[in-house]
Structures are given as C-alpha cells and as structure tokens.
Structure 1
Amino acid sequence: MKAFVTGGTGFVGANLVRLLLQQGHSVRALVRPSSALDNLQGLDLELVNGNLTDPNLVRSLVGCDALFHVAAHYSLWQRDQSVLYRSNVIGTRNILAAAKQAGIGRTVYTSSVAAIGVDPSGQPASELYQSPVEKLVGAYKQSKYWAEQEAIKTANAGQDIVIVNPSTPIGAWDIKPTPTGEMILRFLQRRMPAYVETGLNFIHVEDVAWGHLLAWEKGISGERYILGNQNLSLKQFLDSLSQLTGLPAPVRSLPAWIPLSVAWIDEKVLTRFGKAPSIPIDGVRMAQHPMYYDATKAIRDLGLPQTPIPTALKDAVNWFVSKGYAKTG
C-alpha cells in the first residue's frame, strides 16, 4: 500500500508512520510549512507541503491507495472555537472530497472518544452511545463530533471510510506534549502536589497505530471503532507512575471548585492583561466526570492489541527522559 498520512508530525501520526513503514508500506505525509519535522527525522518517506484547505490536495493524493486522516487541531481554550471548526470540520470535509477525486480506495478517519461523549449512567461508553452534541463539553469535542459527522455522511454516500476513536494514548513521540504527556511530565518534575477525582481510558499509542492499520485491513465502512484499553481513575494512573519511577504519588485530592475557579480567573481575567493562560476552563469541566470507554468491538472485530498500561507508561517515561524533558532521579 502507498499511504497518504495527515498529522504525521504529531503523536499518533508519528507512531502510525513508523508502523506503516515497518510493515513494508510506503508513506506520503502532508506537512504544513510551519510544522516541526523532528518526529519524522531519519524516516524513509515522502513529504508534501500543504494544509487541509489547499486547493491542490487532490494532486497531492493522486497515486496513493489509502488515506489516514489523523491531523486535527487540539485546543481546550474557548477562544479557539473558530480555528477548531475550520481545521477539524472544514479540513475533514475538504480532504475527504479530495480523496474521492484522487481515487483513494479506503480512508481511515481518526476521530476521538471526545466525539462520543460520556455516558451519564456512569457505564463505559461503547460505539453505540452518542451524547447529544450540546452536551459535549467545549469547542474541541464539538468540532470532533461535527468532523465525524462529515465522515459518516461521506461514507453513507458510498465512499469507503472507516472511523476510529482513540481514547487516551500514552507512549513515545509525544513531542508537544499532549495533556496526558504533560501530566506525566508534571509528575516527573515533582509539580503535582494534588489531583482531581476523575478517570480516563488509557491505551499504548503503538496499539492506537495498530488500530488504524487493522481498521484499514478489517474495518467496515461507515462504522466506528473505539481504540482503547484500560479504564483507570487518575489516582490509579498516578500510583502506577509512582510504582514505575519510585517517586511519591500525590495523596490529596482537590474539590472541583478549586481548579475551576483558578481556570476561570486564568482564562477570563488574566488573559486581558497579556498573561498566557495555563489552565483551560473546558479542561476542568471535562474532568468532573470520569471518561470511561468500552473497546470490546475493536478488540473482537479488528484484533486491537492490548499492551499493559504500565508498559505504555514506561515507554512514555523513557522517551521523555531520553529527549531531555525530565529526569527520573
């Protein structure tokens, strides 16, 4: 296969590119002129400059067999609503149309569990659950919902598109880093004196990459597959980090009103005086409900790997330390 990959410079994309190359496929990656290419250094692939709104996207895609549309703009800041819609929704619409014109055989679209939402019953949500869009917290989650609707609509019109919904990946090449990577770094740097009562579904990022390839091989067009593994409370996650590194885990939990108040002051007040905000309101609002998911469908139908989360944490810590982000001693 010759694969066209968007978002290859990012966390999931860089792991997917490596997997595709390891499995003998060739890769053409779309990169913005302003993108840092550190995650792709030394790899044998073709780079094309551009972005998701370019009128020449069709020309860039011609000659490829598959499209892996991984790219997305991620931000929890309320000020970024228009950017999120333009990048995630309009960008997805554009590249899916270009893929059709270019004769791409199959597309794997990277959505997110953010587009599914949280089941109010407290049970882990499966692909069958869908939160009303107005109940999704924040512009990012809503943009991923509307972008997924573009993929579903296009698949219903006859284009071959499989949707994957990763949960919370952990591992190497988290260059930015992601919010979860930032949490690991804060732990390693002894900057986490307390935690909030919440939970997430975690998965090794290499398993997420495999989920994309398996979706291309085995997935059914128009269906979505949650790429997840283990549901853990944030306290359990931090305790695992403590066992791995020998560093103490925080023992105090914060009531929700404290980080919410700090975030509101940070984002709504201090930004008016030129201070860059550090805690997004929507991020705190999301954390008020555990975000648990059920990946049974992807495990059963695709053969999604389930690497133990301690292994994923070890790989993430080792990568951050090797790249100079933090020390373990």
Structure 2
Amino acid sequence: MRVLVTGGTGVVGPEVVRRLLRRGHGVRLLSRHASDDRKAFEGDIEAFDGNIGDAASVRGAAEGCDAIVHLAAVVSERPPEVTFERVNVEGTRNIVAEAERARVLRFVYVSSLGADRGASGYHRSKKQGEEIARTFSREWIILRPGNVYGPGDEQISLLLKMARTLPVVPLVGKGDDPFQPIWCGDCGEAIAAAAERADLAGCELELAGAEVTTMSQVLDRFEAMTDRHPTRLPLPAWIESMGAKLAAKFGIEAPVNADQITMVTEGNVIPEGRENALDVLGVQATRLDEALGKLGDSLPERLPSEGVGPMHRKIYRAEIRGGRLDAEGLIALLRDEFPSLAPRETVVVGAEPEGPKRIAPGATLTMALPLRGHVQVRVEEVAPRAITLATLEGHPLAGAVRFLAEPAGDGAVCFEVQTWHRASTLADLLVMETLGGAIQTYTWTSLVETVVERSGGRAEKGVEVTRDDPDEREGNDFERWLEELILRRVRRDDAPAPAMAAG
C-alpha cells in the first residue's frame, strides 16, 4: 500500500511515517519542505513539496496512493498567512478534493480529543475539518488523539525544560486540570494501524494514554527525575491568557498562546463511557513514567540555524609532548572518563539521578551549569580521532562541541576542543557576552589541561585559546555538515535491528 502523509513533521508525523515504513508500506510525504524532510527517513519514501492551503500546489500529491493520513494542521495562528481557517479547514478541504480526484480508497483524518465539544479556536477548526472528512465518498476514519507528547512538544517537553532550567515554573491555575496524554510512539502506531483497517470505515475513534494526570503531577515526576525543585507559581488562566495575547500583539514568542490555555482549562480526557481506541487498534499504551523517562533523553537538537546573533567559533588547543597516549588514546580517554575530566566548578556531568555517564553514540548527557540548571548535549559522532556533541533544546547555546586529536610530528599529539555556536535566545546572547563566555572559556581550558595531565605529557605552550569566528560561507557549511551528521545518526538509530541467525 502507498500512503500519502500530510505534515510528516513535528511530534507525531515522524512516528507515523516510521511505523508505516516498518509495516512495509510506501510513503509519500506532503509538506512545504518535503524534499528536505524525507532525509530523516530510510526506506520507500517519496517527497511532494506542497502547501495544503493552496489547492493548486497539492494537485497530483495523491496520484497512485491507496490511502491518505491527513496530519497537517496548526495549533496556533500567525496571521495573515497561517490561520486555522486557511490551514485546518481549507487545507482539509483541499486534501479531500485531491483524494477524490486521485480515487484514493481510504482517508484517515487526524483530529483532536475534545474537537467535538471544545470552545477553543483550534478545536472549532478541527471540528470543521471532521465535517469535511465525512464528505469523502469512499472510506473515511476520524481519529481524535489526546495531548500528544514527545520530543519537542509544546506542553510537556516545555514543562521539562522549565523544570530543568528555571527557578520558578508557572502553572495554569494550580496545575490541576485533568488531561490524558498519549506518548507520540503510541499515537504514531495507532494512526499507522488505522490506515490499514477497512473495517473501521465511518468510525470516529478517540485515542489517549492509559492514565489521567495533571500538569502538577507531571511536574512532580520531573522533579524526581531531575532532582531539581523549582518554585511553583499558580496563575489564573485569564492572566496567562492575557499575557500570551499581549506577547503576540508585540511580536514576542510566548511558550503557549491564549488558545492553548483555553484547551488546558477545557480538559483533554476521554469522556466516561467512551472507549479508548488504542485497544481497538492493538496498541499497548506506554506507562506515563516510562514515557516521561524516554522524553528526558530525547529532546531535539538545538541547531546553530535556530539560534540568534552571529556564529562564534572558539578553539582550545594544546600540543602534548612526552605523553603515553597517542591521538586515538586521547579520544578514548575522553570517551570513557569525560565526567572526571570536566571541572566540577562549572560542569557536573550526569547531573540527573539516572542516565549515561560515558560518551557513546546517540547518548544524551545531562550537565549542571551555573545559573542555568540542567542542560543536555547529544553524542552525534564517536570516531577514532573525533567526538562531536550537539546541544539540545533548553541549552543556552545552539551549536556543537568537537573534540579532536591528531599527530603533530616529532611524537607530539595535538588535542583541541572546538565550540561552534550561536546563543539560543536573546537573553542567552546577553549572558554569553558577559559571564557566560568567561565560564565557557574556563570550562574547556580546564578540560584540556586535565587531558594533558592525564596523558602523562606536557604542553610547553599551555592551552592556546583562539576566537576564530567563521565567515558566512564557512558557518553555513558547518551547519549543513552538522545537520547531515544528525540525520545520519537518526537514520542509524531508526534502522531495524539485524535478524538473528538461526543456531
């Protein structure tokens, strides 16, 4: 079966695509930048660049497809181009029209839990989308997932980042509004399964996790996970909503918008007497504690292109003579003993109760930084003479740290740390230009000095620190290289395990 997936990005989209591919289906991805988005996947996947809000640009997208999974939607508006009416309503109308033209057999519309009764603008638009989906002349299925959480979502992931980095965490009301979150992997599996089910034609199915919880209870779990205990600041919903509206009016990016706050207060729970369709679709719900643990190690990378201000590059270099370790030995030392090499005055590696303490491909390392709380980096590359770490969401920097070792002639070995970064936010830009820059220099200078000491050698010139900011072309080349490195790591992590040979 070939399946057209609209909006295969964000929190749910990649999970749906991966699970369709694992089930042996071909996927055609429809999004504005599908040619780039498809690079994150391996297998039988095609790209179709198009904007669902423009009927002409999606014509032909469903040609030769057996089913459509319509995920593309927006949860917040950026008028005049991005509105609920244009994307969630007219976009759905355009995709249904394309499905009719191409004579697609099955149309799976992904709505939202509460769309049939919610008052928020988002829920009203999804309800209109449901009405349009029901006009499809062949098989249609409506799925209503609850609050989907996973790497980069705008509620639970955001709460985790605040718990890790802020002294005070605001909560809507007392944080006691009930909701029933569903892990992105479970949601993706359910949607992929629904795309195969002819027996569900004409059904409206609600999907949610197995547990009803509150934001306050989720924060309890995050405090136990991180061993950090920020002060909780209850705010009436109307105050948070007013603040979000003012921020939008002045072009300030707020963590949530007024519509999302309305959705929180409406509740996001499967009503009593209705079935959780995970059972119908054969999906075992992931326990909340288990999924939150996964979330803790899976926040997305914060790439340099997502930062603010100019790109900076600093190099901390030592030429080591008389040591017992060659280039490969220095990198092995760093790989195996990184926590003991970093200065504890500025960096505590493995700051959370659980998590890897060793540098390994794909591992997420949590660190405690002064004035910042807990931040994370992910190991993107472990080579014989190089290690590359990328910063994750919540880190004050958007970029990467590289550790390199090379023979320098006459038995010497050159060891260096390179930092390539922009500040993550305007506030971080101010900090990095003052105290943050000094802390960064002390941290990496101290690490290089410790590596020299542990090598048994000496660096006659000490640690040489240079700031060598790249020009625009070199900066762009590095960004592309890092993005490709991350994509290769993601594709490798997603690859199915090799089959075991028969004994």
TM over 0.5: yes
1:223-277 deviation per Cα after TM superposition (whole angstroms, max 9, x unaligned): 2111101211111111122222222254453344542443354345xx2xx5455
Deviation at 1:51, TM superposition (A): 1.7
1:137 aligns with 2:119: yes
3-state secondary structure, aligned to 2:141: strand
Partners of 1:296 and 1:314 in 2: CA distance: 27
Partners of 1:114 and 1:36 in 2: CA distance: 33
Gaps of 5+ in 2: 300-375, 379-390, 396-503
Partners of 2:292 and 2:115 in 1: CA distance: 25
How high is the sequence identity, in percent, across the aligned residues? 28
Partners of 2:55 and 2:264 in 1: CA distance: 36
The answer to whether the Cα contact below 8 Å between 1:231 and 1:292 also exists between their aligned partners in 2 is yes
3-state secondary structure, aligned to 1:68: strand
1:220 aligns with 2:221: no
CA-atom RMSD in angstroms: 2.7
The answer to whether the Cα contact below 8 Å between 1:81 and 1:140 also exists between their aligned partners in 2 is no
The answer to whether the Cα contact below 8 Å between 2:61 and 2:98 also exists between their aligned partners in 1 is no
Q: Which residue of 2 aligns with 1:287?
A: 264
The answer to whether the Cα contact below 8 Å between 2:48 and 2:61 also exists between their aligned partners in 1 is yes
Partners of 2:57 and 2:82 in 1: CA distance: 23
1:70 aligns with 2:71: yes
Q: Which residue of 2 aligns with 1:325?
A: 393
Partners of 2:252 and 2:191 in 1: CA distance: 39
The answer to whether the Cα contact below 8 Å between 1:267 and 1:279 also exists between their aligned partners in 2 is no
Letter of the aligned partner of 2:179 in structure 1? L
Letter of the aligned partner of 1:92 in structure 2? T
Partners of 1:40 and 1:167 in 2: CA distance: 28
Q: Which residue of 1 aligns with 2:11?
A: 11
Partners of 1:80 and 1:232 in 2: CA distance: 36
Partners of 1:194 and 1:82 in 2: CA distance: 28
Which runs of structure 1 show a deviation greater than 6 angstroms over 4 or more consecutive aligned residues? none
The 5 A counterparts of 1:140-151 are 140-151=122-133
Q: Which moved more, 1:226-235 or 1:259-268?
A: 259-268
Deviation at 1:309, TM superposition (A): 1.2
The answer to whether the Cα contact below 8 Å between 2:75 and 2:122 also exists between their aligned partners in 1 is yes
Partners of 1:88 and 1:66 in 2: CA distance: 19
Gaps of 5+ in 1: 117-130
Q: Which residue of 1 aligns with 2:42?
A: 43
Q: Which residue of 2 aligns with 1:210?
A: 189
Partners of 1:29 and 1:86 in 2: CA distance: 20
1:172-192 deviation per Cα after TM superposition (whole angstroms, max 9, x unaligned): 4x3xx4333323222222264
In structure 2, the CA distance between the partners of 1:189 and 1:36, relative to structure 1 (3 Å rule), is: farther
Deviation at 1:109, TM superposition (A): 1.1
The answer to whether the Cα contact below 8 Å between 1:263 and 1:281 also exists between their aligned partners in 2 is yes
Q: 1:178 aligns with which of 154, 162, 167?
A: 154
Letter of the aligned partner of 2:19 in structure 1? L
The 5 A counterparts of 1:116-265 are 116=116, 131=117, 136-154=118-136, 158-172=137-151, 174=152, 177-190=153-166, 192-196=168-172, 197=175, 198-218=177-197, 220-229=200-209, 230-248=211-229, 250-265=231-246
Partners of 1:259 and 1:56 in 2: CA distance: 38
Q: 1:315 aligns with which of 289, 294, 316?
A: 294
In structure 2, the CA distance between the partners of 1:143 and 1:30, relative to structure 1 (3 Å rule), is: same
**Pair member with larger Rg:** 2
Deviation at 1:14, TM superposition (A): 0.8
Q: Which moved more, 1:253-262 or 1:2-11?
A: 253-262
The answer to whether the Cα contact below 8 Å between 1:166 and 1:208 also exists between their aligned partners in 2 is yes
Partners of 1:163 and 1:299 in 2: CA distance: 14
1:42-95 deviation per Cα after TM superposition (whole angstroms, max 9, x unaligned): 533211111212325342211122111111122067x56972111111111111
In structure 2, the CA distance between the partners of 1:47 and 1:231, relative to structure 1 (3 Å rule), is: same
Q: Which moved more, 1:240-249 or 1:196-205?
A: 240-249
In structure 2, the CA distance between the partners of 1:170 and 1:260, relative to structure 1 (3 Å rule), is: closer
Partners of 1:314 and 1:209 in 2: CA distance: 18
Partners of 2:32 and 2:278 in 1: CA distance: 34
Q: Which residue of 2 aligns with 1:87?
A: 87
Q: Which residue of 1 aligns with 2:98?
A: 98
Partners of 2:50 and 2:150 in 1: CA distance: 28
In structure 2, the CA distance between the partners of 1:282 and 1:57, relative to structure 1 (3 Å rule), is: closer
The answer to whether the Cα contact below 8 Å between 1:266 and 1:278 also exists between their aligned partners in 2 is no
Deviation at 1:115, TM superposition (A): 1.1
Partners of 2:122 and 2:80 in 1: CA distance: 9
3-state secondary structure, aligned to 2:194: helix
Partners of 1:182 and 1:244 in 2: CA distance: 15
Partners of 2:81 and 2:124 in 1: CA distance: 9
Partners of 1:264 and 1:91 in 2: CA distance: 25
Q: Which residue of 2 aligns with 1:30?
A: 30
Deviation at 1:290, TM superposition (A): 3.1
Structure having the higher helix fraction is: 1
